[in-house]
């Protein structure tokens, strides 16, 4: 694998965890919100509708998968792909309902009518439900996905230093091998230190 494509696994940890949590919330909140009378019709928990599937569960799953990709990878391109998937999921939370209704003219896929509770006014609860389940959630996911793309795209100083250290160490090992003998010149070969000492200083006579 190319060294420039390898990154520390911690590079996408925070963004990956956030995308996973936001994806879980976006995919499950419409199904469990009726327990608290918060969300959109039908006012029944775990009730399947095409709107809940295509406008909440599918983009929530996409954000979750993108978060997993960003969390576990050490490959730069794979991490960027996870960030792109998360960003697309966030964009769908923001604009998916309007796109299906206004562009595709499909009225069967819709978010439903906002639920009401006695503790909040109708206008305030409608705004909070749309913000928590759609446009506000989508903006958060889109931001985290874009942040993940930026983090995986950048070449950090630590990455450059580690790559330079590895290259320098490998170059030194290749350029300066350990000498194992004498040093050859144009006229011959220098003898080793032991041979030179023996030749210049012969041992003393045995009788002295």
In this prediction, residue 41 has a pLDDT band, given cuts at 50, 70 and 90, of very high
Q: Specify if 204 maps to a domain.
A: no
- Does residue 178 lie in a domain region? no
**What total of structural domains would you count in the chain?**
1
CA 177, CA 71: separation in Å to the nearest integer? 42
Tokens of 67: 């978060």
| Predicted pLDDT of residue 180 | 57
Residue 110 lies in a domain: yes
Three-class SS state of 180: coil
Report residue 133's pLDDT band, with 50, 70 and 90 as the boundaries: very high
Please state, in angstroms and rounded to a whole number, the distance separating the CA atoms of residues 55 and 154.
Answer: 32
Higher pLDDT, 155 or 25: 25
Residue 206 confidence (pLDDT) above 70: no
Q: Are 19 and 66 in contact (CB under 8 A)?
A: yes
- H or E element in which residue 189 lies: strand 189-190
Model pLDDT, residue 165: 52
pLDDT tops 90 at residue 63: yes
Assess if residue 196 is contained within a domain.
no
User: Could you tell me the pLDDT band of residue 1, with boundaries at 50, 70 and 90?
Assistant: very low
162 lies in a domain? no
Mean pLDDT of 86-106: 94
Q: What gap in Å lies between CA 14 and CA 18, rounded to an integer? A: 6
Residue 56 domain boundaries: 3-157
pTM of the model: 0.73
Average pLDDT for the chain:
82
Residue 202 lies in a domain: no
């Amino acid at each position: 694998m190319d060294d420039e494509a390898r990154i520390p696994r911690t590079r996408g940890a925070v963004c990956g965890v956030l995308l996973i949590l936001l994806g879980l919330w976006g995919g499950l909140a419409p199904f469990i919100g009726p327990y608290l009378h918060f969300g959109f019709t039908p006012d029944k928990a775990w009730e399947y509708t095409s709107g809940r599937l295509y406008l909440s569960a599918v983009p929530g799953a996409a954000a979750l998968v993108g978060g997993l990709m960003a969390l576990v990878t050490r490959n730069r391109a794979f991490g960027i792909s996870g960030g792109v998937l998360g960003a697309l999921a966030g964009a769908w939370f923001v604009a998916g309902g309007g796109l299906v209704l206004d562009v595709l003219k499909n009225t069967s896929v819709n978010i439903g009518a906002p639920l009401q509770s006695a503790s909040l006014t109708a206008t305030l609860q409608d705004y909070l439900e749309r913000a928590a389940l759609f446009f506000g959630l989508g903006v958060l996911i889109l931001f985290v996905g874009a942040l993940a793309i930026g983090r995986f795209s950048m070449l950090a100083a630590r990455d450059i230093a580690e790559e330079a250290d590895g290259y320098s160490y490998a170059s030194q090992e290749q350029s300066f091998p350990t000498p194992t003998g004498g040093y050859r010149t144009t006229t011959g070969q220098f003898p080793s230190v032991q041979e030179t000492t023996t030749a210049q200083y012969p041992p003393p006579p045995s009788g002295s």
